[in-house]
Each structure stands twice: as structure tokens, then as C-alpha cells.
Chains A and B, each alone.
Chain A
């Protein structure tokens, strides 16, 4: 079954305590991306990766890091979380081929930073 998995699904942490949210896909997709969803703001892209070792900033990259050491994994790292990073986070992967595009989103990670 094609899927994007995220862990953890829920996380409560305190300001300044480093955390990592993992994302993994089993479809061999080259493209992966992280978004945050906040009420009234829709989804905003944090970082994206077009392939292994190729990453770029989205609209709201401040306070986040990513890495893409292997195709299936794209972890999101918060080195020093702050309360304004409390949000719902989604990972996505996609493939464009022959004019067709498929995309899958993970189930989301709800983060609360105290």
C-alpha cells in the first residue's frame, strides 16, 4: 500500500528542546515536502527536496532544518522549538512522470510547544 508515514503523530514539548519529526514514503518518490497548517492560513511550505541531498526553502523555513540522506526519508528538525512553532505538520511526497503527477500526504503531526 502506497503511504507516507509520520512520527510521532502527537508531541508536546518545551521551548528549546530539540526534536525531530520523521517522514518516510514507500513509493520511491523523488520529491518530498514539509508543510505546516495553521487556522486561517491554510498550508505553508517549510522545506522541500527534489531528490537525495537536494533541498530548498519554502515560504516559512525559519527555525526548521531538513535532511535527505536517502530517498525514502525526509526528517524535519526543530533545533530550538518556540511556541510559535505550535502547529499541525504534514509531510508529502510526489512523482511527476509523463505529464502525470501523483501526490500523497502523511496523516499529520500535531506539535505543541510550551
Chain B
């Protein structure tokens, strides 16, 4: 079945770039998402990419997609303490509304 995997923790220094990685298994046309969850809050959709794209950039965020390896990454440039949160990746097959989420990566930004 479909599966989405992420590493559990990442720690970076303020001002550095963060790269959060995710692997997925669905081989059909797919939407891939990145969400941010701050403590005690719901999820916030950060960005998403369709599987026919290789890259998407939105201000400090860059999403890279390696379709061959089914690998998705989220790069946060100039990471700030306010970026400390849990980041989830998720996939959704085109034509369905079934979302499969990863377990989340906890990003800690050190001042």
C-alpha cells in the first residue's frame, strides 16, 4: 500500500538552510504536500507540487522532487527560530481525496 516516510528530527542553527526529506511510494500521478504544525495548533499548508514538476520555489521555501527515487525535499532558506515546528509531507493520488501523511519531522532551530 501507499506509504510516506520522514526522518524524525532535524536540528539547525539560525540563518542556516534546513532540508527536510520525505519518500513516498505512490507511482501514479500524485500531488505532494508540505505542512507545518506549530505547538498546540492545526496544520498549515505550506506548499505543494504535482508529480510532473521537478521543483517549486515560494519565497524561502524550495521543494525538490526526484520522481525516479520517489524522494521529496523541502528546503527552508535562512531558517529562523519561528520555523521551529513539526513538518509533515503527504501525498494524494490525482482523482482521489485520500491523503497519506508521513510521521512528521520535528525541526529545532538553535539561536
A108 touches B103 (CB 8 A): no
Interchain CB contact (< 8 A) of B101 among A44, A50, A107, A108? A44
Q: What's the minimum C-beta distance from B92 to chain A, rounded to whole angstroms?
A: 9
B42 touches A50 (CB 8 A): no
- Known contacts: A43-B88, A101-B31, A101-B48. The answer to whether A106 contacts B42 by CB under 8 A is yes
Complex contacts, B98 vs chain A, CB 8 Å: 45, 48, 58-59
Check: B81 CB closer than 8 A to any chain A CB.
no
A107 touches B42 (CB 8 A): yes
Check: B55 CB closer than 8 A to any chain A CB.
no
Total interface residues on B, CB under 8 Å, equals 19
A42 touches B88 (CB 8 A): yes
Complex contacts, A102 vs chain B, CB 8 Å: 45
Which applies to chain B's interface (DSSP): helix, strand, loop or mixed?
strand
Complex contacts, B31 vs chain A, CB 8 Å: 101
A59 touches B100 (CB 8 A): yes
Complex contacts, B4 vs chain A, CB 8 Å: 42
Q: What's the minimum C-beta distance from B91 to chain A, rounded to whole angstroms?
A: 12
Complex contacts, B9 vs chain A, CB 8 Å: none
Which applies to chain A's interface (DSSP): helix, strand, loop or mixed?
strand
Q: What's the minimum C-beta distance from A34 to chain B, rounded to whole angstroms?
A: 11
Please, which residue of chain A has its CB at the minimum distance from the CB of B2?
A: A59
Complex contacts, A31 vs chain B, CB 8 Å: 97
B101 touches A105 (CB 8 A): no
Chain A contact patch, size range: 20 to 34
Please, which residue of chain A has its CB at the minimum distance from the CB of B6?
A: A42
- Known contacts: A42-B103, A43-B88, A101-B48. The answer to whether A90 contacts B97 by CB under 8 A is no
| Distance, CA A59 to CA B44, complexed state (A) | 21
| Distance, CA A107 to CA B41, complexed state (A) | 5
A-contact 0/1 string along B70-97, CB 8 Å cutoff: 0000000000000000001010000001
Point out residues on B near A: beta carbons under 8 Å: 4, 31, 40-45, 48, 88, 90, 97-104
7 contacts between A and B (CB under 8 A): A33-B97, A43-B88, A43-B90, A48-B98, A50-B97, A102-B45, A103-B45
